[in-house]
A and B are shown apart, each in its own frame.
Chain A
Amino acid sequence: MALIDNRPRRCSCRRMNMFYLIDTSGSMNYNGCIDSVNAAMPEIVDILTDISSSNRDQGEIYLSCITFGNDARMLYDRPVAAPDFRWANVRAGGLTNLEAAFRMLESQMHRSSGLNSEDGHLRPAVILMTDGDPDDGWESALEKLQQNRWFREAYKIAIAIGANAGTKMMKRALTKFAEPLDAGGPMTIINISDLTRLHEVVRFVSSTVSRLGSQSTGAARGVGSVGEEINNAVRREFNPVDGVDIPPISGDDRPWW
């Protein structure tokens, strides 16, 4: 009797999880920020699907989106493979409860919840997009998040939206969030003052980090330098265009721009 099936099985593939933390506070209504996010996300999903399909056995890309206004919400209750992810437009309103977003992210970064692939994972990436001062409470939530091993390993990218975004509190929050921790390399904080470029920058950063993260060449680049590559790529792509910058991080309290 012939064997019923000599077809191959799917190859095991590690996952690269991309976590988006998206500010949906009321101020995101100004200058069409939330519209830009809503326009960019479906395209990002397409790009990540492309990258994931061309490289699937090395790193299959999974997405999670946490929006935060008065509270934090997840679009799906668990990470979803890029080709299966459907973006649902979000509306802006309310406060900037970054604390809730950090706590929700922390709850997802465990083997028992969002990072449970049997085939293992590559370093995740967390992209935070916000346009204003976070409400109180974010620091203790971030401290807890920074104890999380997955977060420590993750590539962390902060995107500051709007020219008026450089307040002391926001700078502190983003600077602390973007500390590379175990991922090494420099911080990646991108300031977008020209809001017409928000869409483009978010798309570019997503595509770059997912490509670098899921096809990492490790020693070829110098281990831990994904952050540097992202920064270089953003500089190459957007500078000297006004309105997109990677501000130098210094210890003082001056605004970045």
Chain B
Amino acid sequence: MPRLKPGTRLAMSDGRPLVVLGFIASGGQGEVYKVRLENRIMALKWYTERNIIDNNGFLATLRYNCAQEPPSAAFIWPEGVTKRMYGSYGYVMRLRPETYFDLGKFFCIDRYPEAYFRSWLAKLTAALKICDGFSRLHIDGFSYQDLNDGNFLIHPVTGDVLICDNDNIAMDGYNNGIGGKPHYMAPEVMSGKIPNTESDRFSLAIVLYRIFMVDHPFEGRTTCSSRYVCMTPAEEASLFGKDAVFCYDRIDASNRPDERRHPNSVKYWAQLPESIRDMFCRALSRQAVRQPSLRVKASEWKRLLLRLRAELVTCRALAEDPLHDFLVDGRLPAVCPACGEMYDSGFKLRFANGSEYRVTEGKPLFFADSFVPVGYGRRISLPGGGEALALENSSRVPWNIVSPKGSVMCVEPGTMFQLVPDIEIIFPGIRAKVHV
């Protein structure tokens, strides 16, 4: 039964009154309520876990975090702490949108049929946003400390991410009593060490694997063998901690996914390009499990994911299906790996800074590491019959295009132009040439 009833009056530490409107959910550390603070409807996390209620260090860190700016807009940041009342305290934050799902729900499609990524681009976007957030957090000198599938709210269509439970964040090297969630905790944290950026990297690799593959990277034939039919905490700590074997480990094949029990790992791994497979193999290798310094940084993941986003190809034949696009890495496959049909590989924009971006039908165009699309690949009908690929300007500023013969045309926002080899596009601040 929720501890706070609707109508309960609380106060922020600065004295502003707060009224409880209703109960939302409960979790490991406390309960979440909908509240009114002045004219804003917000969420209140109210602690019920005695270890936290009595932990003055935790409260001090929480107050400190409230005074800081969030590392990025993706963080649902604590905005203020309440006074101690009714034997506990809590903090307020903005409400979670209802169209987003906890990452954990993406693993339970039987209970949450809408919680699945609609495209590889959505998966890439989610992974990129998480890496972007953690890369900034780590640069700012913080570690998240309790990184797991419960910390992310994700939009299944766009891949947009909101990072929650930011009350656990602490300066790197300092711990406020938070340990982490099993199956995501680094082995050294399991054995009592303080979580830090390196343990965050261990958890991050698992979260990223699950975004792309859904199943857990350490689940395989060993973990589901009859030997572990009643898995004890000691076995769990070993198989998901210090003795964890990545199911696609390059050297140790003992824990390969089982087709019946880990169908997602089997299916999606086959659709992954080599570069990201290599990264998972490195990030989840026995060495990286045991030696924290060998773990892959959020910024390294981000670089790879940006490259994959630039290379991503949409497949027209799959337009009505989930995952109507696919990831490529350098060499294009002859047929779409998902449907086996021929596909249109579109055009490449080669930017003056050396980077490239593939444009295909329906695919958004992003600059560098931005998450705001400035254009979209569109299929247009040609006056003389037939179809061609065009690029729509969905930004707020006009672009210019220069034909190979030197004529210049302005592309106003909301309009599009046919992509043909060798034309040059002059975007604000950067030029790109169109290639096959």
Contact = CB atoms under 8 A, between A and B. Distances in A.
Contacts of A237: 50
A62 interface: no
B13 to A, nearest CB: 24
A221 interface: yes
B181 A215 contact: yes
A91 interface: no
A111 B191 CA distance: 33
Contacts of B338: 2-3, 6
Contact of B263 (A9, A83, A119): A9
B320 interface: yes
A220 B234 contact: no
Contacts of A118: 261
Nearest to B268: A8
A50 B264 contact: no
A223 B234 contact: yes
Interface string A96-128: 000000000000000100010011111110000
Nearest to B149: A57
A254 interface: no
A191 B22 CA distance: 34
B109 A220 contact: no
Interface residues of A, number: 51
A144 interface: no
Interface stretch (A10-18, A28-36, A156-164): A10-18
A252 interface: no
B247 interface: no
A62 B401 CA distance: 63
A217 B237 contact: yes
B107 A224 contact: no
A119 B224 contact: yes
Contact of B224 (A12, A53, A153, A220): A12
Nearest to A217: B182
Nearest to B315: A2
Contact of B185 (A12, A149, A217): A217
Nearest to B321: A2
A2 B317 contact: yes
Contacts of B192: 220
B294 interface: no
A225 to B, nearest CB: 9
B232 to A, nearest CB: 6
B182 A122 contact: no
B71 interface: no
B156 to A, nearest CB: 11
A215 B182 contact: yes
A224 B182 CA distance: 15
B232 A10 contact: no
B323 A6 contact: yes
A10 B339 contact: no
Given A11-B108, A233-B50, A2 B28 contact: no
B230 A153 contact: yes
B233 interface: yes
B369 interface: no
B185 A120 contact: no
A43 B26 CA distance: 13
Interface string B92-135: 00000000001011111111000010000000000000000000
Interface string A201-217: 00100000001000111
Contact of A219 (B150, B231, B234, B318): B234
Nearest to B26: A50
Interface string B197-236: 0000000000000000011100100001000111111111
A203 to B, nearest CB: 7
Contacts of B216: 11, 57
B189 interface: yes
Interface string B337-349: 0111100000000
Contacts of A153: 230, 232
B179 interface: yes
A43 B28 contact: no
A218 interface: yes
A123 B232 contact: yes
Contacts of B107: 8, 10-11, 13, 56-57
23 contacts: A2-B338, A3-B339, A6-B321, A6-B322, A7-B116, A8-B214, A57-B104, A57-B108, A120-B228, A120-B229, A121-B231, A123-B231, A149-B230, A150-B230, A211-B28, A216-B233, A219-B191, A219-B238, A220-B189, A220-B190, A221-B233, A223-B237, A237-B50
Interface of A: 1-14, 43, 47, 50, 53-58, 83, 111, 115, 118-124, 149-150, 153, 203, 211, 215-221, 223-224, 226, 233, 236-237
Nearest first, the 4 closest Cβ-Cβ pairs linking A and B are A218-B237, A218-B233, A219-B237, A216-B233
